[in-house]
Structures are given as structure tokens and as C-alpha cells.
Amino acid sequence: MTEGIKTIIYPVRDLSKAKELFSVLAGVRPGMDQPYYVGFDVERQDVGLDPNGHSQGMTGPFAYWHVDDIRGTLKALLEAGAQVKQDVKDVGGGKLVASVTDPDGNVIGLVQPA
């Protein structure tokens, strides 16, 4: 089951400056504030800042679809013509992420919350 797009990650070069800008934009302080990731909860929408995003090939904001079964969803997307960009990996606490590209090269992110 898909819950829809609930997470958007922005690649940033200066985490401190980005954190201040997004705090103003979101109207809240970050709920997660680490050197490797800063995250905001904006009306049940996760907005994250990734200081390593550019070095991992991110060229702009990246949306993640929240799913109940990431491996099953990944398999179904591959059967429908997607290609694996990043296989399933645990990013901490049991939260799983993966990404694929569609036939046009668009990147689709998947996340299975812990």
C-alpha cells in the first residue's frame, strides 16, 4: 500500500544557512538536527536537508513515496520497467529507503518507515 509522497529531501551545500532559511520558511525549528541531516515536520510532511546530497548525485529536491512494503513495491516497479538506482538500505532505526529510475530517467524514491 502506498501512502503517497510524504518526504522531500533538498541537497544543500551549507547546512547551517539552509537550516536557518528552512526554519523561516517552515515556521518551525527542525525536529532532527544532525551534521548529516536536518529534518522538519511541516504539517505531517517531512522536509529534509541533506549536506551529502550533491555528492550523491542529487541535482534538486527529491521526493519519496511512503510504502508499507518497500521490497514488494520495488519488485513491482522493476517489473513495470523501472531500473534500480539505489537498492533497499536501512538508514537507521529500521527505516528503509530505495530509489529507481523510470523509463524517462526520472528518479522515484521509496521509503518504508520503521
Give this prediction's pTM.
0.82
Q: What is the pLDDT of residues 5-17, one digit of tens each?
A: 999 999 999 999 9
Pairing of strands 83-90, 96-101: antiparallel
pLDDT of residue 1: 65
Under 8 Å between Cβ of 35 and 15: yes
> Residue 95 is part of a domain; what is its CATH number?
3.10.180.10
Handedness of CA 62, 53, 46, 3 (dihedral sign): positive
Q: How far apart are CA 1 and CA 22, in angstroms?
A: 31
Q: What is the pLDDT of residues 51-110, one digit of tens each?
A: 999 998 888 898 999 999 999 999 999 999 999 999 999 988 999 999 999 988 888 999
Residue 2: pLDDT above 80?
A: no
- Range of the structural domain that residue 88 is part of: 2-112
Counted domains in the chain = 1
pLDDT of residue 12: 97
Q: How far apart are CA 18 and CA 1, in angstroms?
A: 33
pLDDT of residue 101: 92
